[in-house]
Amino acid sequence: MTSSFKTVALFGKQPSEAVAQTLLEIRQFLTMRGFTVLFEPGDVQASGRTELAPADIARIGSSADLAVIVGGDGTMLGIARELAPHGVPLVGINFGRLGFITDIPLLRWPEALGAVLDGHFVAENRSILKARVSRDSQVIFESSAVNDVVISRSSRAGMIDVQVHVDGIYMYSQRADGLIVATPTGSTAYALSCNGPILHPSLEGIVLVPVAPQALSNRPIVLPAKSVISMSVAEGRETRVNCDMQTFADLQLGDLLEVSRADYTCRFLHPSGYSYYATLRSKLNWHEMPSLAPRL
C-alpha cells in the first residue's frame, strides 16, 4: 500500500540519551522507507548529530504529515497542544510509565509504526480546551489543554472560593482546594483521581470536578461541549491556574478565567485493533480479580 505520509516529524522526551538513540533509530527506519524526517531543535541538540537540520514548530506544522512522539503522556500532551492548531496527526511511542495516550509499546515500535505508515491505523479526534485569564479587562494569560485546566490553591494556603458561571448564568460558588475543567481525554487523569466520571473520547462534553470540596454534596458535573465556563476567585491566597500541569499563571482576587472548547481538535493515530476499553482494562487494572481478605 502506498503511504499517504511523506514528511514525518520526530519528537522525544528531553533530556534522555536513551530517547535520543531511539529517535535516531526511527529516523533511519523512516529514511530507508523514503520519508523526509524533521527534528525539533531540542531533539537535534540531544542527539549530538550536528548534520541534522532543526525545524521549528511553525515549519513542522506547515510541512509534516505526521508527528511521532517518543516519551510519556506528558511529552505527548505538550506536543499535541503545539501541533493541534496545524492539524498534524500524532502517534505516541511509550517511553514513560502509564502510557494512556502513548499507546505503542517501545519494543514493538518498528512493526506498529510501519503498519501506521502503510495506512493501517485507527484515527481519533480529541477535543481541546482553551483558557484565558483577564485582569482589569486585559488578557494576561492564554493557553490550551488536552487534558484539563485546573484552578487550585497553593500548598501553603487554605481553601479557595471559586465563583462559577456557565454561559453567563451563575452556577455555584465552590469552596474547595481547587476545580478541574477536563476534556474526555483528561477525564482519566487528575479528574479521575478526584472521583470524576470517565468520558469516552468520542463524547464532546466538558467535566467539572471539585478538588476536596468543603461540602460533600458538591459533585462532578458534565456540561455541554459548547459551554463557556467563567471562574473567578472570590476568596483565597496564592491561587494558580494550570493547563495540563505544563503552563501556569498566578491569579489575583477578581481575575476572570474563561474556559471553552477550541475550534480545532487533536488527531491521534492508533495501531489497528486499538480499543479504548482495552486501554482502560490495562491501565486501570480492570482485568484483575479482587483479592480475598484473609480470614482472622
Catalytic positions, written as ranges: 73
Q: How many CB atoms lie within 10 A of CB 61?
A: 18
Q: How many CB atoms lie within 10 A of CB 240?
A: 15
| Whether residue 15 has a cis bond before it, omega within 30° of 0 | yes
Alpha-carbon span 252 to 61, nearest angstrom: 35
Strand 229-235 with 239-243, pairing: unpaired
Q: Report residue 30: phi and psi, to 5°.
A: -70, -40
Please state the separation of Cα 8 from the chain's center in Å: 21
Give CB contacts under 8 A, 24+ apart, made by 49-54.
Answer: 49/24, 52/27
Alpha-carbon span 48 to 7, nearest angstrom: 22
Half-sphere exposure (Cβ direction) of 179: Cα atoms closer than 13 Å: 28
- DSSP conformational letter for 157: S
CA distances from 50 to 36, 41, 256 (A): 17, 11, 46
Contact 261, 228 (CB under 8 A): no
Q: Which residues contact 11 (CB under 8 A, 6 or more apart)?
A: 40, 43, 67, 68, 69, 70, 71, 75, 79
Alpha-carbon span 195 to 227, nearest angstrom: 22
